[in-house]
Structure 1
């Protein structure tokens, strides 16, 4: 057992965290890392890459300190530097390391310097020489240049997590400068979900005789079920309303959109029907973003509307197959920038790095603009051997841009990107199944949806966006100060509060019984190992069918009849035979 080869204090912590069996990447990488090999690893998101490099780093530091007397000043030194692309991922990695250090926290100290605290204020923390530093490349370089971090003679290991994303975020120059401050010999880990040309260049620069691990677990493809729905841009709003309001998907769900305006448009639209959602985008302050993810993982919120605009930009810079936006789109984006209350956080990412826990489904409300982005979005579900599903809306080219009010500029390229995604998934042994909604059953909801869409104007979006940012900035300051001394008060802070600037029509909150589709069946009656596409549920907490039935099927009560032996029609319909006699002669006779 690999975990038994680690220090007993680490093994004890792993048992407490229910780490009983290593994942594929951990089983392959940890023995090689303990042997001192440099590692270049490619593995799916959620496969356990963080523990695969954290555990060897901790083990190495404990081994080094055991050989140094406790009274020696050499025990205090910065021995490991972990570079990550986003602040959210820095917080996550720091938390994982602290969890592994439950029983040896006095021996090893870890510090996260990726937050927004000024460099000068972080100097006292770094002067205590923590063993492990977690940072973004830009923040690490700032401290190295100012001599707050000096590692010429002490650094033993360098980790670059999500290496391809680090490079695509524009950190390549920063990393080259960081290397000038490091010793000539150290162990290096490059971890990534994809391997690009830039990662290959970094490999030549950093690694010496590395162990290259390209791991693919067939179980991951089985656990993730992928669907796509072809529909117009207006029908996307209709279908998302039906899916969420009728609870066709059970459990926690992430809805991805392609820009911040779309983020608030979807939130305001769902608020018309009293469907609460959280918003996650690069304009929100770091503390609020991190708290939103934490509360979502605890089950406080069911739905998050997330943007991955920075991830999309990163993919655009590195993926030759990515569809570029036209100049008109760029011009309109510049105009929108003027209305923003604060600048975007460049070190933000929602579709990669962040550890969303127990996500039942990912919905691509706006189809991603690259195949890479698709992989990372759907990678938020079906993690750690759990089952999950993805549902993507694809707008046919002839329907894109027909409804300017709700149109997304990237929709015109949906079919082109979808073709690349389909090809990529087929090479990986996975398929995107078509999912057909019976539009006759949902047509009754259309008037409600159109009524709600009229209330979500550009002015309403702008007001809601400004209101939400102001409140989250206030929450961020509160999180920074007050809640440090009053942790119980943090439970009262919610991020899914209603932000609509207009009055919501109360009758939209409930769904009248006459609009309920007849083919929807209770999830409890569904079998445990069946297929949602064929009208059955895959798990007790998954999906209710909502599809067209074949022509030889009839639904009657709780039984399903096929062919000509379906339920008989009533011969005499009293509503058809009854007629009101309005002639004067017959009125007299009745009197």
Structure 2
């Protein structure tokens, strides 16, 4: 079996690896590191949770051991699709480069430009960034990329999904042609292959697992939920989710619940908390400080259930996640691989449940076609208690009509049922008969309209003349 000591890494790096508790590299690390140390471009394809981050951070630290950073000109560049993944890469560098003097900077959104500018002005060996924030600094004239010796694109397929490919191509054009490039991804779309053919030179392709495969350490299950009514689908799925979590009992030490929409993340998290679960939401609309605090709480165990959008599906490294629940079936089958890959990491066992309604059938079929195997069907252990039917919204016209009827009925209830007979009044005092058709003012003409207002003629006198 290959050991880290067999990979010609810098002794300071080896010391940090040993202090982190690692002795043997994963397959992607064992195959990629030797080629990276030789200065070759690397195209790494491996399922999530196999150690791709260390497979490029360890050789980068070794290669950057000699040399010095200059102001505004980083020596290496790592691009990540999300803030969380970029922050995680930065943590890896801190762990493995702690015995070296290499400097780094993290450029992500949600953080003030001023502090990031100060780090860049001092000069950094390793620059870790999301594409948008990197280009913001470049366009402000605060960053130069001519000194980049090593460039890494992490989670390249996620970059494609998020629409970053034009930015990636532009960033490539700003770096030297002689750079060394690492491309890492869990899946390989045709567009990604086109980019690698364009920007990588004689790259060594390393594929340690079949493309789009899921780890055999993950026990998968598909739970079909047939809603009683279309408007009850989300509520009854929340019932099923709670029953699933309860049925797992103490085996569910912590869990990530994935939703397709940010608004659904907030609704599910609020629902879980209202039923006594320790849950917290995380998605792209939250402030960066809140997102990082939630992630830290989940890693430390103060948050038991993390309800997340796909912002957390890529690169979130919490080795001890016991369960993943797909509250929504992902519309992109590749996302299924990344979501369930948050559990069963580093050789541990994990479970992944997916809640599906009849309308999700086409997405389930696409996922099974991608991973090359059917997802085992399962049922919720505890019966789902029927939730009270929510009042449906009544059309405005019907509400108005019903309100008018109610007011009319109220008036009828207040009116006397029958009037007492009255003595007949003299004919002269009785009102005129109006039982016939009434035209204009009726038979009665006001007296003032019968009066003559004509001015009498008079003779013109000399005074008038």
TM-score if structure 2 supplies the norm length? Answer: 0.76
Q: Is the 8 A contact 1:24 1:217 kept in 2?
A: no
Q: Is the 8 A contact 1:144 1:181 kept in 2?
A: no
| Distance in 2 (alpha carbons) for counterparts of 1:48 and 1:57 | 15
1:118 to partner: Cα distance: 4.0
Cα RMSD after superposing both structures: 2.6
1:181 to partner: Cα distance: 2.5
After superposition, the Cα gap between the structure-2 partners of 1:271 and 1:454, relative to the gap in structure 1 and judged at 3 Å, is farther
Q: Is the 8 A contact 1:2 1:31 kept in 2?
A: no
Could you tell me which of 379, 402, 416 is aligned with 2:362? 416
Q: Aligned residue for 2:118?
A: 124
Q: Aligned residue for 1:237?
A: 238
1:235 to partner: Cα distance: 4.1
After superposition, the Cα gap between the structure-2 partners of 1:235 and 1:16, relative to the gap in structure 1 and judged at 3 Å, is same
1:51 to partner: Cα distance: 0.4
After superposition, the Cα gap between the structure-2 partners of 1:121 and 1:18, relative to the gap in structure 1 and judged at 3 Å, is closer
Q: Aligned residue for 1:53?
A: 56
Q: Is the 8 A contact 1:254 1:306 kept in 2?
A: yes
Q: Kindly report which structure 2 residues correspond to 1:34-73, keeping only aligned pairs within 5 A, or say none.
A: 34-62=37-65, 64-65=66-67
Q: Is the 8 A contact 1:78 1:132 kept in 2?
A: yes
| Distance in 2 (alpha carbons) for counterparts of 1:386 and 1:220 | 14
Q: Aligned residue for 1:335?
A: none
After superposition, the Cα gap between the structure-2 partners of 1:2 and 1:34, relative to the gap in structure 1 and judged at 3 Å, is farther
Deviation string 1:160-207 (CA, Å, 9 cap, x unpaired) is 111121233222222232233222201000111111122112112211
Q: Aligned residue for 1:390?
A: 352
Q: Which protein is bigger by CA-based radius of gyration?
A: 2
* Alignment of 1:6 onto 2:2: no
Deviation string 1:482-505 (CA, Å, 9 cap, x unpaired) is xxxxxxxxxxxxxxxxxxxxxxxx
| Distance in 1 (alpha carbons) for counterparts of 2:283 and 2:85 | 15
Deviation string 1:249-307 (CA, Å, 9 cap, x unpaired) is 52111111222332232233333322231111121111211221121112112111112
Could you tell me which of 127, 132, 142 is aligned with 1:133? 127
Q: Is the 8 A contact 2:28 2:208 kept in 1?
A: yes
SS of alignment partner, residue 170 of structure 1 = coil
* Alignment of 1:367 onto 2:357: no
* Alignment of 1:353 onto 2:320: no
SS of alignment partner, residue 386 of structure 1 = coil
Could you tell me which of 93, 98, 109 is aligned with 2:94? 98
* Alignment of 1:277 onto 2:218: no
SS of alignment partner, residue 77 of structure 2 = strand
Q: Kindly report which structure 2 residues correspond to 1:272-311, keeping only aligned pairs within 5 A, or say none.
A: 272-308=274-310
SS of alignment partner, residue 357 of structure 1 = coil
| Distance in 2 (alpha carbons) for counterparts of 1:442 and 1:117 | 46
Give the total of aligned pairs: 381
Q: Kindly report which structure 2 residues correspond to 1:443-458, keeping only aligned pairs within 5 A, or say none.
A: 446=385, 450-451=387-388
| Distance in 2 (alpha carbons) for counterparts of 1:79 and 1:305 | 37
Q: Aligned residue for 1:542?
A: none
Q: Aligned residue for 2:141?
A: 147
Q: Aligned residue for 1:172?
A: 165
Could you tell me which of 88, 95, 107 is aligned with 2:84? 88
| Distance in 1 (alpha carbons) for counterparts of 2:72 and 2:379 | 62
Could you tell me which of 218, 227, 230 is aligned with 1:224? 218
Q: Is the 8 A contact 2:3 2:23 kept in 1?
A: no
1:120 to partner: Cα distance: 5.0
Q: Is the 8 A contact 2:70 2:124 kept in 1?
A: no
Q: Is the 8 A contact 2:111 2:288 kept in 1?
A: no
